[in-house]
Amino acid sequence: MGLFAWGCLAIGLQLELGEGHDNGLGSTPQMGYNTWNDFECHGVSAENIRKVADKMVTLGLPALGYEYLIIDDCWAKKRGEDGVLVPDPDAFPQGMKPVADYVHESGLKFGIYTDRGTWTCAGRPGTWGYEVTDAQTFASWDVDYVKTDSCNGPDSLDDRPSSAAIAQYKLFRDALNATGRPIFLALSGWHNWYSPFGKGLANSWRIGYDVRNWRSAWNYAIRVNAFLHDYAGPGGWNDPDMLVGSSDTAVRMTPEQSRTQFSLWSVMTAPLLLGSMLSMTDHDLETYTNREVIAVDQDPLGIQGQIVWENCPLRNRTNIRQKQYYDEIPACQQVWAKPIQDGFAVVLLNLENNSARVNFSISDVCWSSTELQPCDFFEEAAVRDLWSKEDLGRMRFINVTLAADGGSRMFKVVPKAPRKQEVKPGPRASKKRRPSLYPQRVGKGPPLQTDAVHFLQREL
């Protein structure tokens, strides 16, 4: 099926979705913690959930917005004769309700995991055929958030849109709605084709496979999400998976890459779900508690950032779906930008294995592919480094050296003229407008490959 057929299918299914999804939640991307990277299937227990809740409170995370504590796979043991899910009695001897109560008393919200198929990915009972029962069970436990995975159901591994998968998620969406309890719904379907349907189904949807190191962050998240910005907005978000962190566990990045992941996730307006808690390093704690970077992610406009400059090889939606592109990280640089209420957030990213210098022309943060934010021409802007927390003054270029292999810098850019100021029509005003979407680039490398990006936007 070609790109154009995807577009048709998107329209067809969108209509079928009817009223869509509106539970009043997710006006900004969710923030919190998920157990999978820390515990996988081995340590999910009432005791460890209490430890995590205590640690989150001790670190002051709830006050920063990290509100959900989400239990991933492996809490359920079987279905009872009444069809109701039975928690693992060794791990949760008192059942789930007291655990939910403890989490709530800690000032957090309680999240749980299921799967749209017959079995979860770790072989626990799945929700297929029990959508109404499970929704009611979760509501009776005062669950606030459900992550629903995609193993062992129809078309689990299909890299094309599946109406069977969407129908299953729709059933569960409606069953949760019927409980009357507002429950944040997070789909975990691993494929970017969920994105055009996402807002009709849920509050967030995964766009790729699990992110467990820098390479998978590039392959399954960063390069994929670059094409999906038009589908995110208040109420529903692209989910490029959890924050990996740099603690010394099987799932890890370097400290530099871990900070880059946080900066990029904020500019991509992604869910901020911490993946390590009990062994979090001081460096990661400093990263995750940077209020100015969190504010970028949680900006009320809710616009997902995009690439405004790059010298990376041509990528488009055809070749991101091809397996061979999953392997190599290209040796190049990108600049991502996101409009926020009072300016722009900018991340300069180096994918190369050597340090690299980028001299970025600040006015290039403007783009007009989103109707929400027409961007008027400006030449210089006040620049603040969001990691060193220094105001750097007014400038026209950000000329910086980026560390090797996932190094980055993040800035907030406030243009001199108020961005939202109305430009009166007329010859003078129109002269001040940018002549093209992506103006003259300053820096090294070949020109930005805008054609592919715009082609794809049209097709989808």
User: Interface with ligand NAG includes 17 (CB under 6 A)?
Assistant: no
Q: Any catalytic annotation for residue 149?
A: yes
Q: Which of 115, 210, 239, 376 is catalytic?
A: 210
> Cα separation of 184 and 23, whole Å?
8
Residues 316-345 that bind ligand NAG (CB under 6 A): 316, 318-319, 328-329, 331
Give the alpha-carbon dihedral of 113, 118, 124, 126, to 10 degrees.
30
Q: Which two tokens stand for residue 371?
A: 């109707």
DSSP 8-state secondary structure symbol assigned to residue 222:
I
The single residue among 98, 380, 397, 439 that binds ligand NAG, judged by CB under 6 A, is 397
> Cα separation of 215 and 212, whole Å?
8
Residues 116-175 that bind ligand NAG (CB under 6 A): none
The single residue among 2, 24, 425, 426 that binds ligand NAG, judged by CB under 6 A, is 24
Give CA separation, 423 vs 238, 330, 341, 377, in Å: 33, 40, 18, 10
* Beta carbon of residue 218, minimum distance to ligand NAG (angstroms, whole number): 9
Q: Which residues pair with 272 in a beta bridge?
A: 31
SS3 category, 158: coil
Of the candidate spans 22-30, 57-65, 129-137, 415-423, the one that interacts with ligand NAG by CB under 6 A turns out to be 22-30
* Beta carbon of residue 113, minimum distance to ligand NAG (angstroms, whole number): 19
Q: Which is nearer to ligand NAG, 208 or 407 (CB)?
A: 407
DSSP 8-state secondary structure symbol assigned to residue 63:
H
Q: Which two tokens stand for residue 193?
A: 């084709």
Q: Which is nearer to ligand NAG, 124 or 259 (CB)?
A: 259
Q: Any catalytic annotation for residue 210?
A: yes
DSSP 8-state secondary structure symbol assigned to residue 275:
S
| Helical ranges in 86-156 per DSSP H | 97-105, 131-140
Plot region of 23 (φ>0 → left; ψ -120 to 50 → alpha; else → beta): alpha
Q: Which is nearer to ligand NAG, 154 or 182 (CB)?
A: 182
* Beta carbon of residue 425, minimum distance to ligand NAG (angstroms, whole number): 32
User: Interface with ligand NAG includes 352 (CB under 6 A)?
Assistant: yes
User: Interface with ligand NAG includes 314 (CB under 6 A)?
Assistant: yes
The single residue among 4, 12, 22, 167 that binds ligand NAG, judged by CB under 6 A, is 22
Q: Which is nearer to ligand NAG, 26 or 125 (CB)?
A: 26
> Cα separation of 405 and 69, whole Å?
32
DSSP 8-state secondary structure symbol assigned to residue 233:
B
**Owner of token pair 């791990």:** 91
SS3 category, 348: strand
Of the candidate spans 161-169, 196-204, 292-300, 397-405, the one that interacts with ligand NAG by CB under 6 A turns out to be 397-405
User: Interface with ligand NAG includes 177 (CB under 6 A)?
Assistant: yes
User: Interface with ligand NAG includes 399 (CB under 6 A)?
Assistant: yes
Q: Which is nearer to ligand NAG, 61 or 329 (CB)?
A: 329
Query: Total number of residues binding ligand NAG (CB under 6 A)?
Result: 26
> In sequence order, which residues have a C-beta less than 8 Å from that of residue 182 and are 6 or more positions away?
23, 24, 25, 144
| Helical ranges in 303-449 per DSSP H | 317-320, 427-432
Residues 428-447 that bind ligand NAG (CB under 6 A): 442
* Beta carbon of residue 75, minimum distance to ligand NAG (angstroms, whole number): 23
Instruction: Give the Cβ contact number of residue 140 at 10 Å.
Output: 14
The single residue among 23, 140, 163, 369 that binds ligand NAG, judged by CB under 6 A, is 23
* Beta carbon of residue 19, minimum distance to ligand NAG (angstroms, whole number): 5
> Cα separation of 72 and 31, whole Å?
15
Output helix, strand, coil percentages for the chain, rounded to the nearest 5.
Answer: 35, 20, 45
Q: Which is nearer to ligand NAG, 36 or 336 (CB)?
A: 336
Q: Which two tokens stand for residue 182?
A: 């507002």
User: Interface with ligand NAG includes 224 (CB under 6 A)?
Assistant: no
* Beta carbon of residue 341, minimum distance to ligand NAG (angstroms, whole number): 27
Name the site residues for ligand NAG (rule: CB under 6 A): 19, 22-24, 177, 180-182, 215, 314, 316, 318-319, 328-329, 331, 351-353, 359, 397, 399, 405, 442, 452, 455
Active site members: 149, 210
